[in-house]
Amino acid sequence: MPADTNILDNPPVDGGELIRFDKVTKRFGDTTVLDGLDFRVDSGRHVTLIGPSGSGKTTILRLLMTLTRPDEGTITVAGDRLFPAPGKQVREVRKKIGMVFQQFNLFPNMSVLRNVTEAPVTVLGLSRDEAEERARGLLDLVGLADKCDQRPGRLSGGQQQRVAIARALAMRPRILLLDEVTSALDPELVAGVLDVLRDIARTTDITMLCVTHEMNFARDISDQVLMFDSGHVIESGPPEKIFGDPEHERTREFLGAVL
């Protein structure tokens, strides 16, 4: 990892509130996934969402990416409304947020470099030269400087996921959302991806919101762990508290099953 992580060029962290959900309700048909959720994340924090499958963790990330809309409530990012808000404002707020998915979702017909430059050119209006310089720095950061000209299909899953991380960072987001980013990987490829994310968490001020079943990773990178059950935060605290001395019976059961 190069010493110069200014490549991310995040705005200084003021520690203030960056993400705010107020009474957010989300239903799919008859199923209420989130039921009046209040949720806050301060800037620069690394927050991990844990809890049983189906408890609404991914839905929170998808709401922030505007991949789905709440039925009720408001979502605010850096003081600007993401929902409800006019389309132009939503697009501006969205630029502050990057996401890495379980399935890497790279463009298969573009080179690795092009995957990372595409959005900065088309969405942010960077020149191709500027975007390439930024992309090469980020691909170096994730250990893939020598893969710029390859197509994603020729890379391992772990390498593809590291390209996806570089692609998300190329937009210089204030917030990085990570949705079970190692779940689709062969076990021997998991560590390389988590090491890259650990370095990013350690050396940058980017705010991270992470859904993961990798509890050791969660313990390493998180300032705060939120335990979800049925769309509610039932317990939250620093990782040493949640993993070492959980208060809630459901948390103990869940950790007993996954650790």
Contacting residues toward ligand ADP, per CB under 6 A: 28, 31, 33, 51, 53-59, 211
Judged by beta carbon, residue 137 or residue 231, the one nearer ligand ADP is 231
Give the number of other Cβ atoms within 10 Å of residue 62's Cβ.
17
Residue found under tokens 């209006």? 125
Q: Around 171, how many Cα atoms within 13 Å sit in the side-chain half-sphere?
A: 24
Q: How far is the CB of 183 from ligand ADP (least distance, A)?
A: 11
Q: How far apart are CA 100 and CA 134, in angstroms?
A: 18
Q: How far is the CB of 62 from ligand ADP (least distance, A)?
A: 7
Q: How far is the CB of 234 from ligand ADP (least distance, A)?
A: 13
Residue pair 81/74 in contact (Cβ under 8 Å)? The answer is yes
Judged by beta carbon, residue 155 or residue 226, the one nearer ligand ADP is 226
Judged by beta carbon, residue 56 or residue 98, the one nearer ligand ADP is 56
The interaxial angle of helices 112-122 and 128-141, nearest 10 deg, is 130
Q: How far is the CB of 213 from ligand ADP (least distance, A)?
A: 10
Q: How far apart are CA 118 and CA 19, in angstroms?
A: 27
Judged by beta carbon, residue 12 or residue 53, the one nearer ligand ADP is 53
Q: How far is the CB of 28 from ligand ADP (least distance, A)?
A: 3
Q: How far is the CB of 63 from ligand ADP (least distance, A)?
A: 9
With the C-alpha atoms ordered 107, 204, 190, 223, is the resulting torsion angle positive or negative? negative
Judged by beta carbon, residue 51 or residue 237, the one nearer ligand ADP is 51
Q: How far apart are CA 146 and CA 196, in angstroms?
A: 16
Q: How far apart are CA 193 and CA 142, in angstroms?
A: 8
Judged by beta carbon, residue 203 or residue 236, the one nearer ligand ADP is 236
